[in-house]
Amino acid sequence: MGRMRPDDWYLTEDLDEFLSRAGDFLRSRPALHTVPLTVTDALRRRGLHFYSAEAPLFGVLADDTVRATVIHTPPFPLQITRLTALEADALAARLAGLGHPATGISGPRETAGAFAAAWQRHTGAPATLGLRQRLYRLGELTVPEPRPQGRARIAGREDRELLSRWKAEFDTDTGHGVGTDTAAWADARIAEGGATLWEEADGTPVSMVGATPEIAGQVRVAPVYTPADLRGRGYAGAATAEVSRAARETGVAQVLLFTDLANPTSNRLYQRIGYRPVADFEVWRFSGTALRV
């Protein structure tokens, strides 16, 4: 594709239309496209307003084949697949020309940075780097030693309040997802069997690990949370290993997770378990707005 124009980006609020255009493209690289795959799957399962009352926006860049996509589920950042600098500039121009509000951008490192710079050019809104992430894929699983006392179990309806509270605490601690309806999140994870608790021998829950439903042969582990006063005892590592093992035993091709590169402890832990780097991602914040990741 030569010279890029803003209207080369096709935008729609119709999820089915978007998936009919871009579904094969997203499935072609399930690890790198894990976020758009799981977000669109959640919208399909739970409804277009699962994330907020605002309608999502979907975009496709294509000539003979699909080249890239963008998804926006307010109030979260735009989610983009890999773009060239010219493609990122055209998308920023398209959205800015429509007056489309954006609090931030999340995507592959070079792409996110290119879009953030383009957004500043087209809107004048300051852009600041909010988060550096690394995507990992499970290789050979190794259960961390020493294994803490207790066991893992799938969270049920009786754990709804706990899951909601711990998700809120996770969001506050990390700055991710602040403002999310944590009760709705807990309901979805319970219904899908997508939350695992590590509990001590007396049945007291001490750590939580989530996992997305399988789509396109991949499952993503998220979030991983242990209350501050219970950290450093191996609970999160044991629970993550159990969730990873269970996902692999269902036959999924890829088990994935993201880490915050500012947290060397978690990066070392996941590599000890058997996770290997795939790619780096960045999240940028626009206009000083509260970032929800």
How many helices (DSSP H) and strands (DSSP E) are in the chain? 8, 12
The pLDDT confidence band at residue 290, using thresholds 50, 70 and 90, is: very low
Whole-angstrom distance between the N-terminal and C-terminal Cα of the chain? 32
18-69 tens-digit pLDDT? 999 999 999 999 999 999 999 999 999 999 998 888 999 999 999 999 999 9
User: Is 80 exceeded by the pLDDT of residue 224?
Assistant: yes
* Residue 179, pLDDT score: 65
Structure pTM?
0.94
Per the structure block, which two tokens stand in for 2? 């030569």
Between 223 and 290, whose confidence is greater? 223
Closest listed residue to residue 208, CA positions, set 171, 157, 163, 159: 163
151-160 tens-digit pLDDT? 999 999 999 9
The pLDDT confidence band at residue 293, using thresholds 50, 70 and 90, is: very low
User: Is 60 exceeded by the pLDDT of residue 247?
Assistant: yes
Average pLDDT over residues 172-199: 89
Cβ density class 18-50: b for 16+ within 10 Å, e for less: bbebbbebbeeebbbbbbbbbbbbbbeeeeeeb
Answer for the pair 47, 56: CB distance below 8 angstroms, yes or no.
no
The pLDDT confidence band at residue 8, using thresholds 50, 70 and 90, is: very high
**Taking phi first (over 0 means left), then psi (-120 to 50 degrees means alpha), and beta for anything else, what does residue 203 get?**
left
